[in-house]
Chain A
Amino acid sequence: MPLVNLRETTLRDLNRSLHALPPDTNETHWTVRHPDGRHAVAAGLDRAIAVEIEGHVGYYCAGMNALAQVVVHGNAGVGVAENMMSGRVHVRGDASQAAGATAHGGLLVIDGNAAARCGISMKGVDIVVKGSVGHMSAFMAQSGTLTVLGDAGEALGDSLYEARLYVRGAVTSLGADCIEKAMRDEHRAELAEKLAAAGLAGEVDPAEFRRYGSARRLYHFTVDNAGAY
């Protein structure tokens, strides 16, 4: 149960120690004190360990995460869990912009609100935000799911591909090529599974959500434009 105080140990030493862990490590539960908004705390992990961070973190916390379970007991700055591959990142407070950006897999849970561009260019991650998300969330999202219990800001899902967006509250506006789609049984089942993974089984009714996805009008060249050549 290593305990690291970032007012005594440098961030580089912490991350180096985490990166050096062997696959069969017995040091599977780490506690990090006094992150004080530092950037890149617990970034680049690739072992099935748990890391609890007691306080607010700066940019790119748990970026590129694979396998690890990271909990932030506070707010997270820009780009939390960006490019996550697998594992789970849980922010107990709010997240700033670009939470889960480009992430390929794993689960990102945000208990509070996420600011603009949540899930931008996401590529397979599941994101569950218990509060609301800011403008341009899921911009160019390619796959995965973004579930929002609160509201979504302007231009949700602009230019998105195959990601599925589930929003319980109000959506200020939809971005280009993003449309509301029918919520069928398969979607309610998928949403129930994501909510359960986020620890919300039985607390939130999937029937209260609406689904948004791509109209797929931006996928191909439009023959009407052929005259431009």
Chain B
Amino acid sequence: MCGIVGLFLKDPALEPRLGALMAGMLGTMTDRGPDSAGFAVYGAPAEGAKITLRGPDAAGLEAAVAALQVALGLTLASQARDTHTVLVAPEGREGEIRAWLAAHPGIDVVGSGQRMEIYKEVGLPAEVARRFSLSAMAGTHGIGHTRMATESAVTTNGAHPFSTGPDQCLVHNGSLSNHNALRRTLRREGLTFATDNDSEVAAGYLTWRMREGASLKGALEASLSDLDGFFTFVVGTQDGFAVLRDPIACKPAIMAETDAWVAFGSEYRALVGLPGIEGARVFEPEPATVYAWERG
């Protein structure tokens, strides 16, 4: 099963409420995914790169962040939220920070980018949202996922969203059957993967296509030929937001649009709390059709 949601704001007046609206959407999708939850929020741009880190617990992560700064002789802006911390790496220093982290196992890089922050944990979606204070977050757009584990274990590593490139992330409902072969191909292209998860390969595929010059829409269109399996994807980039369903529309999807926002939900129930939903254009996205929005 699994539930996925996405919200892209057109009206800047709603930006302070992005997190609160997303928290409501995620909570409603608990029935579709009570095992773990995660979300990405595109907030204010940082002077440098935001790196979202995840540790085994808040204290362990705090100690690691302190040690990192001592080792590299840096003083970094950071925001700790439960098991996650968002560090701001100054221009040109992200590489050495990542190298230090790679040499110190136990702290995972969940994602990075100028605007994107990612949080994911095991537990009920409402509880995950509360632990990371999602309701207080502001931003322009965000995506989220509630997981009902069917094949692999209930771990934080299996939780979405997956990020494989700067300010890029993806949530996926479905399963891919050619992810092993595709992962090998993408590794040869220089991509790295943190898990054996099929959804991470989909994220990596889009990262690779965009790195090679494709637009978000173009990358998703190409995925229709190269990905085999069932999927509904919701994808975020620094300025964009897109939705794609596989050609047989195996997984549910509903969208709504007003002058103020575009929203995606696995079920309409997830969208009920959005402002002005009564007057929204509510529609089911067509199979094998890319729906993409970009900030002007």
CA distance A183 to B283 in the complex (A): 34
State whether the Cβ of A56 lies closer than 8 Å to any Cβ in chain B.
yes
Rounded to whole angstroms, the CA-CA distance of A78 and B266 in the bound complex is 11
Q: Taking A37-B267, A56-B282, A115-B284 as contacts, is the C-beta distance between A97 and B249 under 8 angstroms?
A: yes
Chain A neighbourhood of B283, CB < 8 A: 94
Q: Beyond A134-B249, A134-B287, is A38–B282 a contact (Cβ under 8 Å)?
A: no
B194 at the interface (CB under 8 A from A): no
Across the interface, do B284 and A94 meet the contact criterion of CB distance under 8 Å?
yes
Contacts of A97 in B (CB 8 A): 249, 252
Q: Is the CB of A58 within 8 A of B269?
A: yes
Separation of A75 and B284 alpha carbons in the complex (Å) = 10
* Closest-CB distance, A227 to chain B (whole angstroms): 34
| A77 on the B face (CB < 8 A) | yes
Q: Which of B200-252 contact A (CB under 8 A)?
A: 248-249, 252
Quick check: B287 and A77 within 8 Å, CB to CB?
no
Also in contact, A135 and B287, with CB within 8 A (given A56-B282, A96-B252, A116-B249):
yes
Nearest CB in chain B: distance from A41 CB, A: 12
Question: Does any Cβ of B come within 8 Å of A169's Cβ?
Answer: no
Does chain A have a CB within 8 A of B268?
Answer: yes
Quick one: closest A residue to B278, CB to CB? A55
- CB neighbours (8 Å) of B272 from chain A are 36-37
Interface 0/1 of A83-119, CB less than 8 Å to B: 0000000000110110000000000000000011000
Residue among B272, B284, B287 having the largest count of chain A Cβ atoms under 10 Å: B284
How near does chain B come to A24, taking the closest CB pair, in angstroms?
36
Q: How extensive is the interface on chain A, given as a class? A: 10 to 19
The number of A-B residue pairs with CB atoms under 8 Å apart is 43
**For the complex, what is the distance from the CA of A161 to the CA of B271, rounded to whole Å?**
39
Q: Write the A67-87 contact mask toward B (1 if CB under 8 angstroms, else 0).
A: 000000001011000000000
**A93-B282, A116-B287, A135-B287 known; A58+B249 contact, CB < 8 A:** no
Q: Take A56-B282, A115-B284 as given contacts and tell me if A135 and B248 are in contact as well, using a CB distance cutoff of 8 Å.
A: yes
Q: Collect the chain B residues with CB atoms within 8 Å of residue A38's CB.
A: 269
Contact present for B269 and A37 (CB under 8 Å):
yes
Cβ distance A116 to chain B, nearest Cβ, rounded Å = 5
* Residue of A with least CB distance to B265: A37
A191-203 to B contact mask, C-beta < 8 Å, 1/0: 0000000000000
B28 → A minimal CB distance (Å): 9
A58-B282 contact in complex given A96-B252, A135-B287, C-beta closer than 8 Å: no
- Chain A window 8-36, contacts with chain B (Cβ cutoff 8 Å), 1 for yes, 0 for no: 00000000000000000000000000001
Contact, CB under 8 Å: A58 / B268: yes
Say whether, besides A96-B284, A134-B287, A115 and B249 are in contact (CB < 8 Å).
yes
Query: B residues 255-271 with Cβ under 8 Å of A?
Result: 267-271
Contact A116 B248 (CB under 8 A): yes
Contact with A along B270-294 (1 / 0, CB 8 A): 1110000000001110110000000
Residues of B with C-beta under 8 A to A37: 267-272
Q: Give chain B nearest CB distance to A39 CB in angstroms.
A: 8
**B-side contacts of A93, CB under 8 Å:** 282
Find the A residue at minimum CB distance from B273: A36
Is A78's CB under 8 angstroms from B252's CB? yes
| Chain A residues closer than 8 Å to B248, beta-carbon distance | 116, 135-136
In the complex, 15 of the A-B residue pairs with CB atoms within 8 angstroms, ordered by the A residue number, are A37-B271, A37-B272, A56-B268, A58-B268, A58-B269, A59-B267, A77-B267, A78-B252, A93-B282, A94-B284, A96-B254, A115-B249, A115-B284, A134-B249, A135-B287
Known: A56-B268, A116-B248. 14 other contacts (CB 8 A): A37-B270, A58-B268, A59-B267, A75-B268, A94-B282, A94-B284, A96-B252, A97-B252, A115-B249, A115-B284, A116-B249, A116-B287, A135-B248, A135-B287
Closest 3 A/B residue pairs (Cβ) = A37-B268, A37-B269, A36-B272
